[in-house]
Structure 1
Amino acid sequence: MTESWPEFDTKRDSPTFALLHVASQMLGKLRVAHSTWVNHGWHVTLHPVPEGLAIEPIAANGTSFSLSMDLTRHAIILHVGDGEVDQLPIDLGSIAALHHNLVAMLDAHGLPSSFHGRPNEIADALPFAEDVASREYRPDSAERLLSALCCIEPVFERFRAGFTGKCSPVHFFWGSFDLAVTRFSGRKAPEHPGGVPGLPDRVTREAYSHEVSSAGFWPGGVVEADPIFYSYAYPEPAGFRSVKIRPAAARFDSGLGEFVLPYSAVRAAANPEGELTTFLQSTYEAAATLGAWDREALERDPVAP
Structure 2
Amino acid sequence: MAQPGDVLDASNAWPELDYAAGRETYETLHLLTQIVGKIRLSRTPWLNHSWHVTLYVCARGLTTSPIPYGEGTFEICFDFIAHRLIVETSDGQRWHMPLRSSTIADLYATLMAGLAGLGVRLAINETPNELPDPIRFSEDRLHGHYDPDQAHRFWEALLRIDRVFKLFRTGFLGKCSPVHFFWGSFDLAVTRFSGRRAPLHPGGVPYLPDSVVREAYSHEVSSAGFWPGGGGIDYPAFYSYAYPAPPGFSSAVLRPQRAFFSTDLQEFILPYDCVRTAPAPDEALLQFLQSTYDAAAVGAAWDRASLECGPGEIGRPRAISAPL
- Of the candidates 173, 178, 183, which is equivalent to residue 174 of structure 1? 183
Instruction: State whether structure 2 residue 130 is matched by structure 1 residue 112.
Output: no
- What is aligned with 1:237? 246
Relative to structure 2, which stretch is displaced further, 28-37 or 83-92?
83-92
- Of the candidates 41, 64, 72, which is equivalent to residue 55 of structure 1? 64
Post-superposition offset of 1:224: 7.4
Post-superposition offset of 1:113: 3.0
- What is aligned with 1:84? 93
Post-superposition offset of 1:212: 0.1
Whether contact under 8 Å (1:20, 1:221) holds in the other structure is: no
Q: What one-letter code is carried by the residue in structure 2 that aligns with 1:183?
A: R
Aligned partners of 1:11 and 1:214: how far apart in 2? Answer: 27
Listed as ranges, the gaps of 5+ residues in structure 1 are none
Aligned partners of 1:174 and 1:223: how far apart in 2? Answer: 17
Q: What one-letter code is carried by the residue in structure 1 that aligns with 2:68?
A: A
Post-superposition offset of 1:276: 0.3
- What is aligned with 2:318? none
- What is aligned with 2:194? 185
Q: What one-letter code is carried by the residue in structure 2 that aligns with 1:128?
A: F
Post-superposition offset of 1:183: 0.1
Post-superposition offset of 1:8: 1.1
- What is aligned with 2:322? none
Deviations 1:234-289 (A, max 9, x none): 00001000111111010000111100000011111000000000000000001000
Post-superposition offset of 1:223: 7.4
- Of the candidates 186, 202, 214, which is equivalent to residue 205 of structure 1? 214
- What is aligned with 2:321? none
- What is aligned with 2:289? 280
Whether contact under 8 Å (1:17, 1:221) holds in the other structure is: no
- What is aligned with 1:195? 204
Listed as ranges, the gaps of 5+ residues in structure 2 are 1-10, 315-324
- Of the candidates 155, 158, 164, which is equivalent to residue 173 of structure 2? 164
Change (3 A) 1:280 1:237: same
Q: What one-letter code is carried by the residue in structure 1 that aligns with 2:72?
A: T
Secondary structure of 1:166's match?
coil
How many positions carry a matched residue from both structures?
Answer: 304
Aligned partners of 2:233 and 2:29: how far apart in 1? Answer: 13
Q: What one-letter code is carried by the residue in structure 1 that aligns with 2:58?
A: V
Aligned partners of 1:260 and 1:72: how far apart in 2? Answer: 30
Aligned partners of 1:114 and 1:290: how far apart in 2? Answer: 45
Q: What one-letter code is carried by the residue in structure 2 that aligns with 1:21?
A: H
Instruction: State whether structure 2 residue 28 is matched by structure 1 residue 19.
Output: yes
Whether contact under 8 Å (1:184, 1:212) holds in the other structure is: yes
Identity of matched residues, %: 50
Aligned partners of 1:224 and 1:89: how far apart in 2? Answer: 30
Aligned partners of 1:223 and 1:175: how far apart in 2? Answer: 15
Secondary structure of 1:182's match?
strand
- What is aligned with 1:261? 270
Q: What one-letter code is carried by the residue in structure 2 that aligns with 1:22?
A: L
Change (3 A) 1:93 1:256: same
Whether contact under 8 Å (2:167, 2:312) holds in the other structure is: no
Aligned partners of 2:233 and 2:250: how far apart in 1? Answer: 25
Aligned partners of 2:36 and 2:21: how far apart in 1? Answer: 25
- Of the candidates 40, 43, 46, which is equivalent to residue 34 of structure 1? 43
- What is aligned with 1:135? 144
Secondary structure of 1:120's match?
coil
Aligned partners of 2:240 and 2:305: how far apart in 1? Answer: 21
- Of the candidates 289, 294, 297, which is equivalent to residue 303 of structure 2? 294
Post-superposition offset of 1:162: 0.2
Aligned partners of 1:189 and 1:222: how far apart in 2? Answer: 25
Aligned partners of 2:243 and 2:167: how far apart in 1? Answer: 22
TM-score of the aligned structures, taking structure 2 as reference length: 0.91
Whether contact under 8 Å (2:27, 2:143) holds in the other structure is: no
Aligned partners of 2:35 and 2:64: how far apart in 1? Answer: 11
Aligned partners of 1:12 and 1:105: how far apart in 2? Answer: 31
Change (3 A) 1:237 1:219: same
Query: Which of 1 and 2 has higher RCO (CA within 8 Å, sep 6+)?
Result: 1
Aligned partners of 1:61 and 1:89: how far apart in 2? Answer: 27
Aligned partners of 2:302 and 2:231: how far apart in 1? Answer: 36
Runs of 4+ residues over 2 Å off in structure 1: 220-225
Aligned partners of 2:230 and 2:136: how far apart in 1? Answer: 17
Whether contact under 8 Å (1:18, 1:221) holds in the other structure is: no
